[in-house]
C-alpha cells in the first residue's frame, strides 16, 4: 500500500541530485583535463610571445591567434625525436613481449607441473614481489657496468639491452599468471596428456588460448610501468642514440632558454599516441588495473 | 584434435617403469620452463639485492680507483646516515608525503569511484576522463605542470588570484621551500588518483546488492549505508590502496628530479633522489647501498603491515 505513494516523490527528489552529480563530475573532469588541454593548445601556438602573454588567462586553453605546426617542426629540428620515440617503443614492447613468454612459462610450471623445490620456488617468487626495483638500482648499476656482451664490449652501459633484459622477468607478473592458471580446469590437459601431448604443446595450444585476459592484463601493466621508465635510463644511458623519450624530454627541458611551445609540442607527441591507444582499448586498460588490486 | 596427431608419443611400451621415466622427464621439462625467468631474477634482482647488503659494509665506489682499494668499513655507513642532514630530511619528506597524499588521494579516489558507480547516462565518459592522467608519462606531466606552476603568471597563480579577488598570490610555487613540496603532492595526486579510482570501482561492484536492500529496509539513510555497508565491505580494497600508495610515496623520484632536483634547500629531496645522488652522481656506491638497505627495510615493514592488517578479516 505504501510503495506507490513513495516512488513518485523519490523520483522527484532524485532529479536535483542527478543534476548535482553531473555538475560535480564536470568540475572534476575539468580538473583532470586542464593540463592536457593546455599542453595540446600551447603546442599549436607558434608565437612564443603569445604563449607567455596568454599563459595567465583563459586564452591559454583556447586555440587563439596564429596556429601552426611550427613547434612540431622545431622539435624535429632540435632533437632526434623520432629516434627517442622508436627507442621507447622498442624498449617497452620488447620487455612486454619477452616478459609474457618467460613469466607465463615459469608460472605454468608452478601451477601445473610437479618438480622438486616447487613449493620453495613459489614462496621465493612471492617474496620477491616486495623488493622494489629502486632498492636494487645502485648495486644493479655496478653489475651491468661489468657484464660482457656479444659484441665484445665489457659493459652494458649505453645500450638497448641494459634497458630491456633486467625487466623481462617480473615476480608480480608471474604471480598474476600463476593465479589465473590455477583456475583453469585440469580436464582438458588431462585429456591431452592421455593423447601424449608434450607439456609445451599443452602450454602453447591449451593454456595460452584460454588465458588471453591475463596476458592482456600483464602486457598492459608492464607497458604502463616501463613506457615511462626514467630513473634507470637516467643512470645507464648517455648516448642519445639509445635514449628513451623520458630522458630525451628531460634533456630537452634543460636546454635554455626554454621554448615552451616546442616543449609542449614534444609533450603532445608523446602523450597523444598513448592516449589514442588507451581510448581504443579502454576496457582492457581498466580491467587490467582493476585486477592488479586483487593481490595481497 | 591437432593434439592427437602429436608425433612425440611417450614411449610407454619401451620403458620398463613408465611412471618413473615420465616423472623424470616431467622434472626436466619443468626446470626448462622455470629456468629463463629464474635466471633473470637471480642476476637482476636477487644478486643486486644481496650485493646491496655486502656493498653497504664497504666503501666501494662506482668506478674503482686502483690506488685506493675498496675497504671493509663495517656499519660505518649505517651510523653516518643519521648524521646526514639531507638523508634525514629526505626520509621526513617521504613520511610527510605519505601523511598528506595517502589520506587525500585515497579518499578522493573512493569519492570518485562512488561518483562514477552511479547508473546514469554518460558515466563511462567520465570514467574515461578521470583515468586519462594515469596513461600520461610522469616525465611529461612534470614538465607541463612546471609551466602551470610558473612563479609569475602561471595559470594556477592567476586562478587563485581570481577566486580570491586578488587577495592571495602570486606564489613562487617550485622556488618557495614551503610550497614546492605541496605543489609536487598536488600534481602527484592529479596523476595517480585515477588508478585507485578504478581499483575502488572494482571493489564497489563486488559488494552484493542485497546488503544495500537490507540496509534500506532497516531504514538506513545514504550516509549510514556508506558507513556501515560500503566502508566495511571495502576494507581489503582500502588496505591495498593505502599500502600501495604508501610504497609509491617512498619510491618518489621522477617528479622531484625533473621539477626541483630536490631543492630549494632540500625542501623536496626524497630518499630515492638521495640514493641516486650519492650512488650515481657522487659515485659513493657503498653509502648508497646502505641507504638502499634502509629504504628496503621500510618498504618491507609497510608490506608486512598490510599482511597483518588484512589477515584477521579473512
Query: Is it the case that residue B168 has pLDDT exceeding 80?
Result: no
Query: Closest Cα of chain B to A271: distance in Å?
Result: 6
Residues B39 and B90 in one domain: no
CA A144 to mean position of chain CA atoms: 24
Residues B90 and B235 in one domain: yes
Say whether residue A60 is in contact with chain B using an 8 A CB cutoff: yes
Residues B198 and B309 in one domain: yes
Residue B297, burial from CB neighbour count under 10 angstroms (0-12, 13-18, 19+): exposed
Residues B133 and B191 in one domain: yes
Residue B65 lies in a domain: no
B9 in Cβ contact with A196 (< 8 Å): yes
How many domains, in total, are found in chain B?
2
* Mean pLDDT, residues B278-298 taken together: 89
Residue B204 lies in a domain: yes
Q: Report the C-alpha gap between B269 and B180 in whole angstroms.
A: 11
pLDDT at residue B14, rounded to an integer: 47
Residues B42 and B114 in one domain: no
Q: Which residues of B touch A245 (CB under 8 A)?
A: 137, 139
Architecture of domain A80-292: Orthogonal Bundle (1.10)
Note whether A171 contacts B10, CB cutoff 8 Å: no
Q: Report the C-alpha gap between B13 and B232 in whole angstroms.
A: 60
Residues B262 and B119 in one domain: yes
Residues B50 and B100 in one domain: no
Query: Is it the case that residue B3 has pLDDT exceeding 70?
Result: no
Beta carbons within 8 Å of A119's beta carbon, 6+ residues apart: none
Say whether residue A200 is in contact with chain B using an 8 A CB cutoff: yes
Q: Report the C-alpha gap between A81 and B13 in whole angstroms.
A: 63
A243 in Cβ contact with A91 (< 8 Å): no
Say whether residue B134 is in contact with chain A using an 8 A CB cutoff: yes
- Mean model confidence pLDDT for chain A: 85
Condensed to tens digits (0 to 9), the pLDDT of residues B230-268 reads 998 888 888 888 888 888 888 889 899 988 988 788 889
**How far lies A77's CA from each of A73, A80, A105, A256, B199, in Å?**
6, 8, 45, 16, 42
| Parts of chain A belonging to CATH 1.10.3720.10 | 80-292
Residue B116 lies in a domain: yes
* Mean pLDDT, residues B88-117 taken together: 92
Please spell the DSSP secondary structure of A8-77, one letter per residue: HHHHHHHHHHHHHHHHHHHHHHHHHHHHHHHHHHHHHB--HHHHHHHTTSGGGGS--S-B-SHHHHHHHH
Residues B104 and B142 in one domain: yes
Confidence of residue A4 (pLDDT cuts 50, 70, 90): very low
| Touching B: A residues 126-165, CB under 8 Å | 128, 130-132, 134-143, 145, 165
Residues B191 and B251 in one domain: yes
Confidence of residue A13 (pLDDT cuts 50, 70, 90): low
Residues B181 and B271 in one domain: yes
Residues B20 and B161 in one domain: no
Beta carbons within 8 Å of A116's beta carbon, 6+ residues apart: B27
CATH code at position B180? 1.10.3720.10
Beta carbons within 8 Å of B90's beta carbon, 6+ residues apart: B266, B269, B270, B271, B273, B274
Strand ranges for B24-182 from DSSP E: none
| Axis-axis angle for helices A171-182, A118-128 (nearest 10) | 130
Residues B146 and B273 in one domain: yes
Compare all CA atoms of chain A with the CA of B63 and give the residue at the minimum distance.
Answer: A142
Residue B67 lies in a domain: no
Q: Which residues constitute the domain of residue B44?
A: 16-55
Name which of B158, B195, B239 is nearest A56 (Cβ-Cβ): B158
Cell for B114?
Answer: 562512488
Q: Which residues of A touch B104 (CB under 8 A)?
A: none
Name which of B118, B143, B199 is nearest A267 (Cβ-Cβ): B143
Amino acid at each position: 500500500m505504501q510503495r506507490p505513494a513513495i516512488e513518485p516523490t523519490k523520483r522527484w527528489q532524485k532529479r536535483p541530485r542527478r543534476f548535482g552529480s553531473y555538475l560535480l563530475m564536470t568540475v572534476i573532469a575539468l580538473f583532470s583535463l586542464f593540463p592536457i588541454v593546455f599542453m595540446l593548445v600551447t603546442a599549436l601556438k607558434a608565437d612564443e610571445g603569445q604563449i607567455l602573454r596568454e599563459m595567465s588567462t583563459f586564452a591559454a586553453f583556447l586555440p587563439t591567434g596564429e596556429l601552426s605546426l611550427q613547434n612540431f617542426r622545431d622539435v624535429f629540428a632540435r632533437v632526434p625525436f623520432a629516434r627517442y620515440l622508436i627507442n621507447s617503443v622498442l624498449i617497452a614492447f620488447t620487455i612486454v613481449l619477452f616478459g609474457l613468454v618467460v613469466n607465463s612459462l615459469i608460472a605454468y610450471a608452478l601451477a601445473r607441473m610437479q618438480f622438486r623445490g616447487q613449493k620453495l620456488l613459489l614462496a621465493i617468487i612471492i617474496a620477491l614481489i616486495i623488493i622494489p626495483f629502486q632498492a636494487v638500482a645502485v648495486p644493479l648499476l655496478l653489475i651491468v657496468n661489468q657484464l660482457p656482451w656479444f659484441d665484445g664490449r665489457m659493459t652494458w652501459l649505453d645500450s638497448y639491452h641494459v634497458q630491456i633484459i633486467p625487466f623481462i622477468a617480473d615476480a608480480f607478473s608471474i604471480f598474476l599468471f600463476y593465479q589465473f592458471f590455477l583456475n583453469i580446469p585440469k580436464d582438458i590437459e588431462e585429456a591431452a596428456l592421455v593423447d601424449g601431448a608434450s607439456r609445451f604443446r599443452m602450454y602453447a595450444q591449451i593454456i595460452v588460448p584460454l588465458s588471453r585476459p591475463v596476458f592482456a592484463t600483464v602486457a598492459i601493466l608492464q607497458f604502463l610501468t616501463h613506457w615511462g621508465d626514467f630513473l634507470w635510463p637516467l643512470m645507464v644511458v648517455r648516448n642519445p642514440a639509445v635514449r628513451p623519450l623520458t630522458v630525451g624530454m628531460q634533456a630537452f627541458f634543460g636546454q635554455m632558454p626554454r621554448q615552451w611551445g616546442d616543449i609542449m609540442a614534444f609533450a603532445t607527441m608523446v602523450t597523444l599516441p598513448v592516449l589514442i591507444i588507451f581510448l581504443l582499448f579502454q576496457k582492457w586498460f581498466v580491467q587490467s588495473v582493476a585486477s592488479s588490486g586483487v593481490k595481497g | 584434435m591437432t593434439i592427437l596427431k602429436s608425433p612425440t608419443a611417450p614411449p610407454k611400451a619401451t620403458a620398463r617403469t613408465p611412471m618413473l621415466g615420465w616423472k623424470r622427464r616431467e622434472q626436466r621439462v619443468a626446470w626448462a620452463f622455470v629456468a629463463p625467468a629464474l635466471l633473470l631474477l637471480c642476476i637482476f634482482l636477487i644478486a643486486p639485492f644481496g650485493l646491496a647488503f655486502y656493498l653497504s659494509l664497504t666503501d666501494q665506489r662506482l668506478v674503482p680507483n686502483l690506488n685506493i682499494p675498496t675497504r671493509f668499513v663495517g656499519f660505518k655507513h649505517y651510523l653516518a646516515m643519521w648524521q646526514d642532514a639531507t638523508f634525514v630530511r629526505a626520509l621526513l619528506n617521504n613520511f610527510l608525503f605519505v601523511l598528506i597524499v595517502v589520506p587525500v588521494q585515497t579518499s578522493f579516489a573512493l569519492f570518485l569511484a562512488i561518483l562514477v558507480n552511479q547508473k546514469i547516462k554518460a558515466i563511462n565518459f567520465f570514467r574515461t576522463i578521470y583515468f586519462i592522467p594515469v596513461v600520461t608519462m610522469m616525465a611529461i606531466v612534470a614538465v607541463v605542470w612546471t609551466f602551470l606552476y610558473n612563479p609569475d603568471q602561471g595559470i594556477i597563480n592567476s586562478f587563485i588570484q581570481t577566486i580570491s579577488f586578488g587577495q592571495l598570490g602570486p606564489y613562487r610555487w617550485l622556488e618557495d621551500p614551503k610550497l614546492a613540496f605541496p605543489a609536487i603532492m598536488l600534481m602527484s595526486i592529479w596523476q595517480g588518483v585515477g588508478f585507485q579510482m578504478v581499483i575502488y570501482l572494482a571493489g564497489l561492484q563486488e559488494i552484493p546488492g542485497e546488503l544495500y536492500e537490507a540496509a534500506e529496509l532497516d531504514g538506513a539513510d545514504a550516509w549510514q549505508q556508506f558507513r556501515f555497508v560500503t566502508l566495511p565491505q571495502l576494507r581489503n580494497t582500502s588496505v591495498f590502496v593505502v599500502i600501495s600508495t604508501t610504497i609509491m610515496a617512498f619510491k618518489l623520484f621522477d617528479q622531484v628530479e625533473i621539477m626541483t632536483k630536490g631543492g630549494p634547500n632540500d625542501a623536496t629531496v626524497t630518499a630515492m633522489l638521495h640514493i641516486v645522488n650519492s650512488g650515481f652522481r657522487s659515485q659513493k656506491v657503498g653509502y648508497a647501498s646502505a641507504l638502499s638497505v634502509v629504504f628496503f627495510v621500510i618498504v618491507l615493514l609497510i608490506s608486512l603491515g598490510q599482511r597483518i592488517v588484512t589477515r584477521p578479516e579473512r
